[in-house]
A and B are shown apart, each in its own frame.
Chain A
Amino acid sequence: QQQVKQSPQSLIVQKGGISIINCAYENTAFDYFPWYQQFPGKGPALLIAIRPDVSEKKEGRFTISFNKSAKQFSLHIMDSQPGDSATYFCAASGDSGYALNFGKGTSLLVTP
């Protein structure tokens, strides 16, 4: 079963706009929440990650917001650029022995 649910499946945003991708999880043992970015023909690459001891983490134009009580986290891309067009995967994992569980991905297209 899918342990991490991601939405939307696809997203179109105009250049300069804000892209928002949401994820939800059920397993309360999860304590590591990364986002991976994948360009066509390439493997996923780590973009940004958060642990539940903070509610927000920002790196440049990318921000993760984390709501532990709701078991949800989201990626915000500010001032979206055409170069941000890619597939984004949220993921979650926990104690030793847990591998990264990925969401199904969101295909983001930023139009000029």
Chain B
Amino acid sequence: DSGVTQTPKHLITATGQRVTLRCSPRSGDLSVYWYQQSLDQGLQFLIQYYNGEERAKGNILERFSAQQFPDLHSELNLSSLELGDSALYFCASSVGREGGTGELFFGEGSRLTVL
């Protein structure tokens, strides 16, 4: 158990809809990262937050947004969903803000299916 909690584990929705994925980081971790995992693209970095502020941005679509709240949990909002958004979305956390050089602890992911 990594200590990172993601909900929901599975989500099925229709094209055009909006969903929210939630992540609670490990106790004491200030950074939260979102990754998208698909069969053909592997693990793609979406966005990082550190202590409530956006820290780094990756290949995140404009239809997607995220935030980190004062209690450090994070939400990833996906809107105007398309079939291609079907994927496994991982949240990870780390102690520091330099997420590229420290261990990331991943949750078990939220599997999104868009029909």
Which A residues contact B (CB, under 8 angstroms)? 2, 6, 31-32, 34, 36, 41-46, 49, 89, 93-105
**Cα separation A31 to B102 with both chains bound (whole Å):** 12
Provide a sorted-by-A list of 30 A–B residue pairs whose CB atoms are within 8 angstroms: A32-B101, A41-B108, A43-B2, A43-B92, A43-B109, A45-B2, A45-B105, A46-B103, A46-B104, A49-B103, A89-B43, A93-B99, A93-B100, A96-B97, A96-B98, A96-B100, A97-B55, A97-B100, A99-B33, A99-B58, A99-B100, A100-B100, A102-B42, A102-B43, A102-B45, A103-B42, A104-B40, A104-B41, A105-B42, A105-B43
**Cα separation A45 to B108 with both chains bound (whole Å):** 10
In addition to A104-B40, A105-B43, 20 A-B residue pairs with Cβ atoms within 8 Å of each other are: A2-B42, A31-B101, A34-B103, A41-B108, A42-B108, A44-B106, A45-B2, A89-B43, A94-B100, A95-B100, A96-B97, A96-B100, A97-B55, A98-B56, A99-B33, A99-B48, A99-B58, A100-B100, A102-B42, A105-B42
